[in-house]
Structures are given as C-alpha cells and as structure tokens.
Amino acid sequence: MLHRIKEINPLPDYCLRAVFDDGRTVIYDVKEDIRTLPGYEDLMTITGLFRQVQLDESRTCVFWNDAIDLPSDTIYEYGDTQCEQ
C-alpha cells in the first residue's frame, strides 16, 4: 500500500513532520540519512536547503533537489508517532 503524504513540514534539527491521508502524523529524523546516504550531507552543508523540502505530485515522495529524496513509505514506517510537535 502506498502511503500518500497530505502535508510535509521541515522542523528544527533536521526533522520532518509528515501528515498522511490516513490521519497518521509522524516526525521523521533525517540526520541518520544525512550521515549515511551519499549526497544527503548537502542538507546540512547548503544553507537553507533542508527547509526547501517539497512534496512530489504523486504525494509518495518528498525531495529537495534532483539527487535527494525520500519515499513516503520510509517516512511512514520509520517516523516516530510519539514525538509529535
């Protein structure tokens, strides 16, 4: 099942708040991805890039540029519902 994102918001400390069509809201910490995935370090080194997160037209992926994206299923599965802000 594809999890479609209704709303995505960048938060302090490289976290994303995602609201899904089924009503689930999660906070996804992008710092581990920044440490381990090639190219993701740009989110920390390019001033303001992280805050420019966008939702693709299908609402199944968020992206920052042509090289950095995250699928909605990853955010849904690994996001934390206990740290909602």
Query: What is the residue-wise DSSP string for 8-46?
Result: EEEETTTEEEEEETTS-EEEEE-HHHHHHSTTTTHHHHS
- Tell me, yes or no, if the pTM score tops 0.85: yes
Going along the chain from its start, the domains and CATH numbers come out as 5-78 (3.30.2020.10)
Distance separating alpha carbons of residues 42 and 20, to the nearest angstrom? 26
Give 25-49 pLDDT, tens digit per residue: 999 999 999 999 999 999 999 999 9
H/E element, 63: strand 61-63
Cα 33 to chain centroid distance, Å, stands at 10
Residues of the chain with pLDDT under 70: 83-85
Partners of residue 28 on adjacent β-strands:
16
